[in-house]
Amino acid sequence: MAAAMKKRLLQSAAFSPKFFSTTASRVLRTGDTLRQTRVFSCEDILRYSEVSHDSNPLHFDPEVARGSGFEDRVVHGMLVAALFPWIISSNFPGAIYASQSLHFKMPVYIGEEIIGEVVATSVREHKNKYIAKFATKCFKKKGDLLVIDGEATAILPSICQQQ
């Protein structure tokens, strides 16, 4: 089953599974910043609604969204926030998520370029692993507007970045 899933993931054109690289390039230090950019599509919203079961009409009914004060339907906040574990786990495969706080500051609309940013605020060794804390933010590239603010803690098997 795992082999079949890997094959399907590799076949997906939607993303590059960086963890298949085995080249360690550099070691994570406090203050290091990792970023990833993404643009969310209508199809992303639909697929996320299906897998999360979150069918809030704000996400696919423009009239409801406008009636709530938005310009158009909005991307699920938890889908935008998924940028953080993506960034962390693509740099540190096998990372275990321990906590995440999320403050949703602004709506994200379909087609907007969103930058996920993860800054290491502390890194310490613990029982042959590493406990890393990160400041986690998302910005709109246009206008550099803060979309999500928060913090995450992850247990990393290694602090050698795989990218």
Q: Min. distance of Cβ 26 from a second copy in angstroms?
A: 20
The Cα–Cα gap between 40 and 72 comes to 14
Stretch binding a second copy (CB under 8 A), from 23-31, 69-77, 118-126, 135-143: 69-77
With binding defined as CB under 8 A, does residue 14 bind a second copy?
Answer: yes
The Cα–Cα gap between 31 and 106 comes to 26
The Cα–Cα gap between 94 and 58 comes to 34
Give SS3 for 82. coil
Q: Which residue has the tokens 């094959």?
A: 7
> Which candidate, 158, 162, 94, 98, places its Cα nearest to that of 134?
98
Q: Which is nearer to a second copy, 78 or 146 (CB)?
A: 78
Contact positions with a second copy (CB under 8 A) in 132-161: 157
Q: Binding pattern to a second copy, positions 82-121, x when CB under 8 A?
A: x--xx--xx--xxxxxxxxxxxx-----------------
Q: Which residue has the tokens 């991307």?
A: 75
Binding site for a second copy (CB under 8 A): 1-2, 5-6, 8-9, 12, 14-15, 17-19, 38, 42, 44-58, 60-64, 67-68, 73, 76-79, 81-82, 85-86, 89-90, 93-104, 157
